[in-house]
Structure 1
Amino acid sequence: MYQKHTKEEWAKAYELHKDGYDSPSISRLTGLELSEIKRHIRLYRQTGCWQTERKTNVRSTPALRRTVIDAVVKKSLSYAEVIAKYSISFTSLSSWLRKYRHGGYEELLATKPRGRPPKMNKAKPKWTTGMSEIERLREENEYLKAENAYLKKLKALDQEESAEMFGIGPKSSAN
């Protein structure tokens, strides 16, 4: 795993902090970035431990989300305290709070399915389920005859309507 700075560098920074040096002085003496030193000092003040290891990405469990939300809502801890105590990001905390305020614990603890949904299976034709070839052809023939009869009726109705519209041919008796 890549580390930008060694543990020894951070140990030296910690000793300088304990000796009363301010952040810019520590940065000049150790070569560490000022923003990183400020962040480490802030975390040290909040948690009481000097963190030299990088955090690994940990998937949040529903129990962790519930505990974090309870800490903010019921115990009235600040965002910074909760972030430091539970080692979560500000983005995660704000997202969980938004979900909690919108839909309560149900929305907060709901788990969404991950990944791509499975493809739908194509429906198999019904004649492949044990019918003989002749039976399948008979059913297909009946279906095509019915479809043909329907289309003929539709065509006849269309011709009748157009004839009435333009006054061509005999009119149907509507007396």
Structure 2
Amino acid sequence: MYQKHTKEEWAKAYELHKDGYDSPSISRLTGLELSEIKRHIRLYRQTGYWQTERKPNVRATPSLRKAVIDAVVKKSLSYAEVIAKYGISFTSLGTWLRKYRHGGYEELLATRPRGRPPKMNKTKPKRTKGMSELERLREENEYLKAENAYLKKMKALDQEESAGMFGIGLKSSTN
């Protein structure tokens, strides 16, 4: 698992913060990004917990989504408190709130098929099992009639084209 900064770097940042250093000073002394330090300090002030490890990936189950929305809407918790409490991202929270405000719990909890939709509908293969012998033979007969008609039409078009190429069958106007 890739980690941009180590636990030791974040522990050093925490110690500097406790000693009264401001965010830009901590950034210069530790090499951590200023925006990340500000975010950690803000979360620390709101939750009382200094996060030194990466957040684990949280599976967004419908029950988690409902609990998060209830915490924001009914309990009036701040976004930062909800993010810290449930371990979700700010983007996920914003998306879930937008869906809830637009369509309620129905839209929030609706699931969509994952992945790219197929370009063409897949035709179902013809069933040959379960068909009686008479049905199978009738189907085959219809197929052969259609194929025969197609071949006759192709032959007629081919003869017409070759006749036009060689001038066969054209009436001359020598009177």
TM-score range, shorter chain: 0.5 to 0.7
When normalised by structure 1's length, the TM-score is: 0.68
What SS does the aligned partner of 2:133 have?
coil
Matched residue type, 2:70? D
CA spacing shift, 1:134–1:126, aligned 2, 3 Å:
closer
Partner of 2:133: 131
Structure 2 counterparts to residues 72-87 of structure 1, below 5 A: 72-87=72-87
Task: Report the CA distance between 1:137 and its aligned residue.
Answer: 7.8
Q: Deviations over 1:70-96 (max 9, x none)?
A: 111111122222222222222211211
> 2:69 — aligned with what?
69
Q: Distance in 1 between matches of 2:105 and 2:130?
A: 50
Given that 2:128 and 2:136 are in contact with CA atoms closer than 8 Å, whether structure 1 keeps it comes out as: no
Task: Provide the C-alpha distance between the structure 2 equivalents of 1:80 and 1:60, rounded to a whole number of angstroms.
Answer: 18
Q: Hey, what's the Cα distance between the residues in 2 that align with 1:60 and 1:5?
A: 26
Q: Matches of residues 38-57 of structure 1 in structure 2 within 5 Å? A: 38-57=38-57
Shift of 1:43: 1.4
Contact (CA 8 Å) 1:127, 1:136: kept in 2 or not? Answer: no
Q: Distance in 1 between matches of 2:21 and 2:56?
A: 30
Question: CA shift at 1:128, angstroms?
Answer: 8.9
* Contact 2:24–2:34 (8 Å) recurs in 1: yes
Structure 1: tracts of 5 or more residues without a match: 148-175
Residues 138 and 98 (structure 1), Cα distance of their counterparts in 2 relative to 1, 3 Å cut: closer
Alpha carbons of 1:121 and 1:137: their partners in 2 closer, same or farther (altered >3 Å)?
closer
Query: Using a 3 Å threshold, how does the CA distance of structure 1 residues 39 and 133 change in structure 2: closer, same or farther?
Result: closer
> Shift in Å at residue 124 of structure 1?
1.8
3-state SS of the aligned residue for 1:25?
A: helix
Alpha-carbon deviation of 1:113? 2.8
Distance 2:139 2:101 in 1: 62
Q: CA deviation at 1:139?
A: 5.4
Correspondence for 1:167 = none
After superposition, the CA RMSD in angstroms is 3.2
1:134, distance to aligned residue in structure 2 (A): 9.9
Cross-structure match for 1:154: none
Counterpart Cα distance in 1 of 2:134 and 2:112: 46
> Counterpart of 1:168?
none
Q: Which runs of 5+ in 2 are unaligned?
A: 150-175
- TM-score, normalised by the number of residues in structure 2: 0.68
Taking structure 1 as reference, are residues 131 and 55 closer, same or farther at Cα in structure 2, changes over 3 Å only?
same
Q: Which amino acid aligns with 2:133?
A: M
